[in-house]
Structure 1
Amino acid sequence: MASPEEVAFGSLLFWGIGMMLLAAGCLLLFLFTYQKRLLQQQLRLRTAETEHQQALLAAIIEAQEGERERIGQDLHDGIGSTLATAKLLVNRLSSQPTPANSPELLALVEELMATAVQDARSISHSLYPAVLARFGLADALQHLVDIGNETGALPIALELHYPRPLPLRQELALYRICQELVHNALKHAKGATRLSVKLQQQGQRLTLSVEDDGCGLRAPAAGGLQPAGVAGLGLRNIDVRVQMLGARLHQPALATPGTHFLIELQTPE
């Protein structure tokens, strides 16, 4: 017959084993629940990333189609109409033996052809800036500003501090962003008297700033920035390029009317 001490020890051992099994079961249940929640969270993150990639791809396609449409309009309205007019003048010259005003007509044809050549160069530069590939972003921005100043629409000032050039892919993205912002300002900044472009590189921080003192932008309820009365395709193109670049787009508040875009990019040392 077991002694009371042995009975007490057996009971204590039984309860100890039971508590250990219960603790092990609770631990397994916790690990199972935690693993399940972790897998669900990873699935949600993957789903969100996939949706973001799809939205970005759709935005890229939309931006490309918008650029193709704009190039098509430039070709049709610019070079197309110029060449059509030149063709009419040439037909007029060839239909008559010796037109009385043939020198004037020939001079006009030459002027139209020179305009068509200039338009073709402008469109070609818009498609791919040769200055950027040859000399880098700083010279390409200087060339962009010089062309903008030649139009006389709005004085453009440029400030550059760019000691360490980036890879060509990143420079091209920054150039396209600046090109779109300058184009938007020249076209939509009503009442503006100045336009400022700044490219600053301090350590690992690179900023591209485009600022004018025109009519400014309004922010629609759906979010994002949009010029008053403008479809905003150019701004969507900018947003797509900023995302592809891995940069951030800010619009700092101004004390006076105007528009200020600031693109910030972290670069390797």
Structure 2
Amino acid sequence: MDAPAEVEFGQLLLTGIGLMLLAAGALVLFVVTYQKRLLQQQLRLRAAEAEYQQQLLAAVIEAQEHERERIGRDLHDGIGSTIATAKMLVNRLEADQPTDNRPELFGMVKEIMSTAVHDVRSISHSLFPAVLARYGLADALQHLVDVSNETGTLDIELEVDYPQPLALAQELALYRICQELIHNALKHAHGATRLDVLLRQRGPLLTLVVEDDGPGFDLTHLGTDGQPATKGAGLRSIDVRVQLLQARLRQQSAPGQGLRTVVEVTSPST
């Protein structure tokens, strides 16, 4: 028979081995469970990213369709009616008219066609601002402000401090945002007398500010994110470009205090 000490040692050894196997099994189970949870989390993250990309793509398409609709409306209501009027005047010239009336009709046709040429240039510029590609964002914004000032609706002032230009795609997105904000102010800021546009760069931070002195609106009409609860196609178009720029958009307003829109873009450090 084995000695009592040897029996006790064997029992302790078997117990130790059993505990080690149990610990190893628990460790393996923990690792497998952790990896399974990590894989599920990664799958959920990929699904969320895919859904976000789908939403962003849908918003981009919606913004493009909105711009196409507006351009089509400008073509129909502006250039279409202008050319139709010119055609009517030409038809009158073809008919038997008194000789002394023809110079007046010719002058009207020339004036109408000049208007049509101006409208075509404006629409062409809205499709793609050639000034931006040639001279950069600062000059493109100056041209946009000059053209907008021709409407006589608002006195638009531009201040630019932009020493380090961004990539063309980023500049185009900022230009479109500013273009939409100016368009919204001209259309909706009833009673406003001025519109200030500021483009300022401080290190990696680029700030675009568009502010009017119009009637403004109640902050209670804003959502929890500080944005209007109900957004039209123009604001959704701005949101899309803000997301593409990975920028930050803030709007501040109150009754009688106008609307201030701030877009902040942080450039990656070099």
Q: TM-score range by the shorter chain?
A: over 0.9
Could you report, residue by residue, the CA deviation over 1:64-86 in whole angstroms, capped at 9, with x for unpaired residues? 11111100000000000000000
CA distance in structure 2 between the partners assigned to 1:237 and 1:152 by the alignment: 26
CA distance in structure 1 between the partners assigned to 2:35 and 2:217 by the alignment: 48
Q: Which residue of 1 aligns with 2:53?
A: 53
Secondary structure of 2:120's partner?
helix
Which is worse superposed, 132-141 or 231-240?
231-240
Distance 1:76 1:250, change over 3 A: same
Distance 1:70 1:19, change over 3 A: same
Amino acid at match of 1:247: A
* Deviating 4+ runs (over 6 angstroms): none
CA shift, 1:36, in A, is 1.1
1:124-163 to 2 correspondences below 5 Å: 124-163=124-163
Residues 1:214 and 2:214 aligned together: yes
CA distance in structure 2 between the partners assigned to 1:107 and 1:207 by the alignment: 47
CA distance in structure 2 between the partners assigned to 1:52 and 1:37 by the alignment: 22
CA distance in structure 2 between the partners assigned to 1:233 and 1:217 by the alignment: 19
Are the counterparts in 2 of residues 225 and 235 from structure 1 also a CA contact under 8 Å?
no
CA distance in structure 1 between the partners assigned to 2:217 and 2:41 by the alignment: 39
CA shift, 1:20, in A, is 0.7
Residues 1:111 and 2:117 aligned together: no
What TM-score comes out, normalization by structure 1 length? 0.93
CA distance in structure 1 between the partners assigned to 2:257 and 2:122 by the alignment: 32
Are the counterparts in 2 of residues 93 and 99 from structure 1 also a CA contact under 8 Å?
no
CA distance in structure 1 between the partners assigned to 2:75 and 2:225 by the alignment: 34
C-alpha root-mean-square deviation of aligned residues, in Å? 2.0
Q: Which residue of 2 aligns with 1:35?
A: 35
CA shift, 1:189, in A, is 0.9
Secondary structure of 2:197's partner?
strand
Distance 1:154 1:98, change over 3 A: same
Secondary structure of 1:21's partner?
helix
CA shift, 1:225, in A, is 3.7
Secondary structure of 2:265's partner?
strand
Amino acid at match of 1:40: Q
1:1-269 to 2 correspondences below 5 Å: 1-96=1-96, 98-217=98-217, 219=221, 225-226=227-228, 232-252=232-252, 257-268=257-268, 269=270
Could you report, residue by residue, the CA deviation over 1:127-184 in whole angstroms, capped at 9, with x for unpaired residues? 1111111110001111111112222111111111100011111111110110001110
Distance 1:107 1:253, change over 3 A: closer
Number of equivalent positions = 267
What TM-score comes out, normalization by structure 2 length? 0.93
Are the counterparts in 2 of residues 155 and 194 from structure 1 also a CA contact under 8 Å?
yes
| Unmatched 5+ stretches in structure 2 | none
Secondary structure of 1:151's partner?
coil
Distance 1:27 1:252, change over 3 A: farther
Amino acid at match of 1:179: Q
